[in-house]
A and B are shown apart, each in its own frame.
Chain A
Amino acid sequence: MISELQRERLAYRRSRARRSTLVALISTAVFAVLAWVTVTGAPGWPRVRRSFFDPEIAWRSLPAVLEGLWLNLRVLVVCGAAILVLALGVAALRTLRGPVWFPLRALATAYVDLFRGLPLIILLYLVGFGLPALRLTGVPNDPVVLGGVALVLAYTAYVAEVFRAGIESVHPSQVAAARSLGLGPRKTMRLVVLPQAVRRVMPALLNDFVALQKDCGLISVLGAVDAVRAAQIEQARSFNFTPYVVAGLLFVLLAVPTARCADALGRRVDRRRGGR
C-alpha cells in the first residue's frame, strides 16, 4: 500500500525525470544543429564534402573495399582463434609456481617482453620479408600467412597478459577451497580459476579483439590488399578521400557487434553477482 505522500513523491520524481529527458533532448538537438551549421558553413566545406563524402566515388570503391574486408575477416577469425589458444598457454606458463618451472616462466616472460615491446610494423617486416629471404624450405612465402604469423606473435603477448591479470585476480581462497575439496592443481586451474578469470577479463579481451580487427589491415605492408589498402588504391586513382571514409565506416560496423556483445556479457556478470 502506497501512502498519499509517497504517491506525490513518485509523481514529482516522474515529472523531474521527464523534464531532464526533455532538456537532454533539446540540448542534444541544439548541439547537433550548431555542429552541423559550423561544419557546413565553413568556407572549405564544399571542397571537404567533395573530397571525403562523394557518393559516386563511395559507390564505385565499395566492391574493392568489401573484397579487401573479406580478407580482413578471414585473417581476423584465424588469427583470433590462434591467439586465444596460445595466449592462454603463455599465461598459464607465467603463473606456474615452483622453482622447477623457472625456465618455462622465464621463457614466457621473455616472450611477452619482446613481442609486446616490438612495434607491430617492424615485426611485420621482420617476419614478412626477413623470414622468406632466408630461403629455407618449408617457410611459407605467402604475405597473408606471414602477416598472420606476425599478428599472432604480437597479440598473443598482449592477450597473455590480460589472461594472467585475470588468473591472478582470482582470490587465493578459491584455490585453497578447490584444493581442500580434493581437486588437483590442473583441475583447480581448469574448473575453478580459469572460468572466473576469463569472465573477469572478458571486456579487456573484447577490447583487444577490436584492436586486432583494425590491425589485421597492417598485413597490407607485405603486399596483400586488404580493405584499407583497397581504399588507398582507389584514393590514389581519384585523388579523393571518400574510399577511406567507406572503409572506416565498414570497420566501425564490424566493431559494433563486438561492443554490444561486451555490453551483454557485462550485464550478465552483474546479474550473476546479484548487482544493480
Chain B
Amino acid sequence: MRAPGLVLAVTTALAVAVACAPADETAPPSNQVDGVDCKKENLATLTPGKITFGTDQPVYEPWYVDDDPTNGKGFESAVAYALAEELGYAREDVVWTRVPFNAAIQPGKKTYDANLTEFSITEERKQAVDFSAPYYDVDQAVVTLKSSKAAPAKTLAELKRVKIGAQVGTTSLDAAQRLQPEQDVAVYNTNDDAKAALRAGQIDALVVDLPTAFYITSAELEDGVILGQVPPGDGKPEQFGVVLDKGSPLTACVSTAVGSLRADGALAKIEQEWLSSAGAAPELK
C-alpha cells in the first residue's frame, strides 16, 4: 500500500504534531493554531461547513470496508471521521470524493480537503504536497503461497533468490527493491494484479504493508502465508500521513487534530479495532 509503519511512542508523535503547528511549541496540542481555533467555522475548506475527504478507487480492507469510505468502517475511514469530529464537523458534514493516485498529487486545484489513502510521508513527496502529522506507522511484509518455492524462505538472503512483485507507486515496491533480489522486481498496477500473478506462479512472493498482508492471507489468498516483515530502510519507520494541498491552510489544524486523537488514545483504539492483528509477524533477518 501507499505507506508502511511501526507504532511510535506517543511522545514522538506529539512532537511531530506540535512541530507542524508552530503556534505553541511547548504546550500540548490544543485546538488552537496560530491563535485561531481549529473549528469548523474558521476552516477554509472547499465547501464552507463541510469537509471533503479524498481516497482512491477502489480502496481495500483493512483500510476501508466494502470499497465504501462513507460507512466509517475500516481504519482510514474511522480516522477520517474522528478527525472531522475533532475539527467540529458532524458526520453529515463529511463528504467523500474519489481521487486516483496521480490526480491526488497533480499540481492544479485539489478536489479534496484531505486525503487518506495510505500515503507514506517522505521528504521528496513533501515537495509536492503537505502531509499532516503521521497517523499510523506501518511495516512492510512478504506474502507468499504455501505451494510457492518462496514458502520455506526464512531469511532475507533466501528471499533474494525468488521472484518478487509489488504494486507500483507504493513504498512496498521500495521495500521489495531493498531486498535486492536477483531477478528484477515485477511491478503491478494494483495488488489485485500482483495476487493474480502470484496465483499464476509468475512471482513467488509479494510485498505489501503488514495490515494488508494480514487481510490478504486471511481473506483473499487460499493457503497464503506471511513470511515476515521487511526491515525498514535507513532504520526509520514508515508513516502514513494525511495528504493536503501544498500550502493548505488546513494542514496545521489537521496535524493538531491527529495529535489530540493520539494523545487521548482514540487513534490507538481505532487501530485496535481495525488493525488488531498487526505486529504478529516476525522480522526477517
**30 pairs of residues in contact across A and B, judged by CB atoms under 8 Å:** A47-B107, A47-B246, A48-B108, A51-B128, A129-B197, A129-B200, A132-B201, A133-B196, A133-B201, A141-B201, A143-B197, A221-B188, A223-B186, A223-B202, A223-B203, A224-B186, A225-B186, A225-B187, A229-B168, A232-B169, A233-B173, A236-B169, A236-B170, A237-B174, A238-B124, A238-B127, A239-B124, A239-B125, A239-B127, A240-B128
Q: Point out the residues of chain A lying under 8 angstroms from B203, CB to CB.
A: 223
**Assembly CA distance A86 to B187 (angstroms):** 31
B101, A223: Cβ atoms closer than 8 Å: no
B116-147: CB near A (< 8 Å → 1, else 0) gives 00000010110111000000000000000000
Is B193 among interface residues, defined by CB-CB distance under 8 A?
yes
For A129, give the chain B residue with the smallest CB separation: B196
Please judge, given known A-B contacts A223-B197, A223-B202, A233-B173, whether A238 and B188 are in contact too, CB under 8 Å. no
A212-239: CB near B (< 8 Å → 1, else 0) gives 0000000011111100010011011111
Q: Point out the residues of chain A lying under 8 angstroms from B127, CB to CB.
A: 50, 238-240
For B165, give the chain A residue with the smallest CB separation: A223
Please judge, given known A-B contacts A132-B200, A135-B201, A233-B168, whether A238 and B125 are in contact too, CB under 8 Å. yes
Which residues, 183 to 210 on B, are CB-close (under 8 Å) to A?
184-189, 193-194, 196-197, 199-203
Is A103 among interface residues, defined by CB-CB distance under 8 A?
no
**Assembly CA distance A239 to B187 (angstroms):** 18
Please judge, given known A-B contacts A237-B124, A238-B125, A239-B125, whether A232 and B168 are in contact too, CB under 8 Å. yes
**Assembly CA distance A125 to B170 (angstroms):** 22
**Assembly CA distance A257 to B235 (angstroms):** 49
**Assembly CA distance A232 to B188 (angstroms):** 11
**Assembly CA distance A239 to B169 (angstroms):** 9
Is A44 among interface residues, defined by CB-CB distance under 8 A?
yes
Is B106 among interface residues, defined by CB-CB distance under 8 A?
yes
* Contacts across chains A and B counted by CB atoms under 8 Å: 88
A141, B169: Cβ atoms closer than 8 Å: no
Is B105 among interface residues, defined by CB-CB distance under 8 A?
yes
The 8 closest A-B pairs by CB, nearest first: A223-B186, A236-B169, A239-B128, A51-B107, A132-B200, A47-B107, A239-B125, A133-B200
**Assembly CA distance A143 to B184 (angstroms):** 12
Q: Point out the residues of chain A lying under 8 angstroms from B200, CB to CB.
A: 129, 132-133, 141
**Assembly CA distance A129 to B102 (angstroms):** 26
Q: Point out the residues of chain A lying under 8 angstroms from B165, CB to CB.
A: 223
Add 12 more A-B contacts to A133-B196, A223-B193, A240-B127 (CB < 8 A). Answer: A44-B107, A44-B108, A51-B107, A223-B165, A223-B202, A223-B203, A224-B186, A232-B168, A233-B169, A233-B173, A235-B102, A241-B102
**Assembly CA distance A141 to B197 (angstroms):** 10
B187, A220: Cβ atoms closer than 8 Å: yes
Using a CB–CB distance below 8 Å, which chain B residues touch chain A? 101-102, 105-108, 122, 124-125, 127-129, 165, 168-170, 173-174, 184-189, 193-194, 196-197, 199-203, 246
A73 to chain B, nearest CB (A): 17
For A71, give the chain B residue with the smallest CB separation: B184
Chain A, interface residues (CB within 8 Å), range? 20 to 34
B236 to chain A, nearest CB (A): 16
Q: Point out the residues of chain B lying under 8 angstroms from A51, CB to CB.
A: 106-107, 128
Please judge, given known A-B contacts A50-B107, A129-B200, A221-B193, whether A236 and B101 are in contact too, CB under 8 Å. yes
For B203, give the chain A residue with the smallest CB separation: A223
**Assembly CA distance A50 to B127 (angstroms):** 9
A19 to chain B, nearest CB (A): 43
Q: Point out the residues of chain A lying under 8 angstroms from B186, CB to CB.
A: 143, 223-225
A51 to chain B, nearest CB (A): 4
B187, A229: Cβ atoms closer than 8 Å: yes
Q: Point out the residues of chain B lying under 8 angstroms from A236, CB to CB.
A: 101, 168-170, 173
**Assembly CA distance A273 to B236 (angstroms):** 72
**Assembly CA distance A133 to B203 (angstroms):** 12
**Assembly CA distance A59 to B269 (angstroms):** 46
A229 to chain B, nearest CB (A): 6
A133, B199: Cβ atoms closer than 8 Å: yes
Residue among A52, A125, A143 facing the most chain B CB atoms (10 A cut-off): A143
B251 to chain A, nearest CB (A): 16
**Assembly CA distance A237 to B186 (angstroms):** 16
Q: Point out the residues of chain B lying under 8 angstroms from A220, CB to CB.
A: 187
Q: Point out the residues of chain A lying under 8 angstroms from B185, CB to CB.
A: 225
